[in-house]
Structure 1
Amino acid sequence: MRFVIDGDGSPVKNEVIKLSDIYQIPVLIVTSVDHYTTKEYSDLVRFIYVDKGADGADYRIVKEINNDDIVITQDYGLAALLLGKQTRIFHHSGTEYRLENIDMLLNQRFMGAKMRQAGKRTKGPKPFTAADRERFYKMMEQVLLQSKELET
């Protein structure tokens, strides 16, 4: 098991890295070269940098993914691609992408894009708060604890 983060827009990288250190779970962060960092991380954290572009990180994640990985992404399209790979996929809000909810999410994204093309304004996401980070952290910790229980 490892965490795989769609790193370009993820506001929860630090929370995942903290969980990684506590539970000794590797982290793979896939991000564009625009987000290159020289920050030092533990040996559990690895980066893959991809060229700039709309879907470069997404395609690389699809290529790199293993069945028992936990993926964190806010990209509904990437989540839809990964659902067939028998991996668990989460939004940074804590929502787990599932076959039961992905069609609705993709349809909402499509409708928002159509409205913007027609010149209408749509609401963007609310700012991500410290409370949101804490909620994500606790939810992901529960996922890890449940996974550990299943292994024993």
Structure 2
Amino acid sequence: MQILVDGDACPTVCKEILYRLADKRQLMVTLVANTLLRVPGSRFIRAVQVPAGADAADAHIVRMVTPGDLVITADIPLASLVLDQQGYALNPRGDFFTVDNIAQQLSMRTFMETLRSGGVDTGGPPPYGNSDRQNFANQLDRHLARLAR
């Protein structure tokens, strides 16, 4: 199993959790982004820079993912593609995308895009906080513990 990270939008605090996890559990963590990401020197951590483009990082992640891999992303369409590949998708706030909730997530995303394109100010997500960080770390630990059984 490897962990793939949609690196452009992943909060720094999540990346730091993943860096520690990579060395502690000796798991490969790969960050994929359109920009150059600096990562700690570790044989378990690498960064891949893809060409600029709206979905270049997503497409690269989809090509890399294999069944059982974990992808960290807040991108709902990417999460759907990961689930299609029998991977797991976890957002930085610690919520898993699943086959049971992805259709609803995609529908809500489309609905919100429609509102925004019509000029409605839908706001944005609340600021990323300590409870989000804790939830992310807890869900990550639980997931890895389940796989270790």
Q: Same fold (TM over 0.5)?
A: yes
Alignment of 1:11-90 (within 5 A): 11=11, 12-33=14-35, 36-90=36-90
**What is the aligned residue count?**
147
Alignment of 1:1-20 (within 5 A): 1-11=1-11, 12-20=14-22
Q: Which residue does the alignment assign to 1:146?
A: 146
Call closer, same or farther: CA 1:40–1:135 in 2, change over 3 Å: same
Alignment deviations for residues 83-115 of structure 1 (CA, whole Å, 9 cap, x no partner)? 121111111121111111111111111111111
Q: Distance in 1 between matches of 2:75 and 2:9?
A: 9
Q: Distance in 2 between matches of 1:88 and 1:76?
A: 12
- Structure 2 residues without counterparts, runs of 5 or longer: none
Alignment of 1:126-145 (within 5 A): 126-145=126-145
Alignment deviations for residues 5-45 of structure 1 (CA, whole Å, 9 cap, x no partner)? 01110111111111112111110111112xx1345331100
Q: Which residue does the alignment assign to 1:93?
A: 93
SS in structure 1 at match of 2:31:
strand
- Structure 1 residues without counterparts, runs of 5 or longer: none
SS in structure 2 at match of 1:78:
helix
Shift in Å at residue 130 of structure 1? Answer: 2.3
Identity of aligned residues (%): 31
Q: Is the 8 A contact 2:37 2:47 kept in 1?
A: no
Alignment deviations for residues 96-151 of structure 1 (CA, whole Å, 9 cap, x no partner)? 111111111111111111111111100201111123112211210111111111xx
Q: Is the 8 A contact 2:39 2:45 kept in 1?
A: no
Alignment of 1:114-125 (within 5 A): 114-125=114-125
